[in-house]
Amino acid sequence: MEQQIRFCSTSDGVRLAYAILGDGRPLLVVSGWLSHLQIEWDDADVRPFWEGLARGRRVIRYDKRGTGLSDWDVADLSFETRVRDLGAIADELGLDHFELLGISEGGAT
């Protein structure tokens, strides 16, 4: 199983990286404080978690603005903007309905 990394732009022009893994009903994952899609994927201790989660699902993870493969030079890191970023990912993928998993501080989003 391999992840596919893609990018989309938000309404304020920030480029967000997201990864898709697996097939099936969508599960959108909001990471904790920091993330990096490729480093997490390459970690032999973490990758099996994502692969297991993707059995029977299409797991969509993303690096929040200011982290990982997404744009780092951003001015707005507000809660409202993070919610809009989540919406940008869902809109990019045409997701009307999806399961949502918030990890750590991603749970608030």
User: What confidence score (pLDDT) does residue 107 get?
Assistant: 78
Total-model pTM: 0.93
* Mean pLDDT, range 26-46, rounded to an integer: 93
Residue 80 pLDDT > 90, yes or no? Answer: yes
Residue with tokens 């994927």: 41
CB atoms within 10 A of CB 2: 9
User: What confidence score (pLDDT) does residue 1 get?
Assistant: 82
Residue 16 pLDDT > 90, yes or no? Answer: yes
User: What confidence score (pLDDT) does residue 34 get?
Assistant: 84
Torsional sign, CA 37, 22, 6, 94:
negative
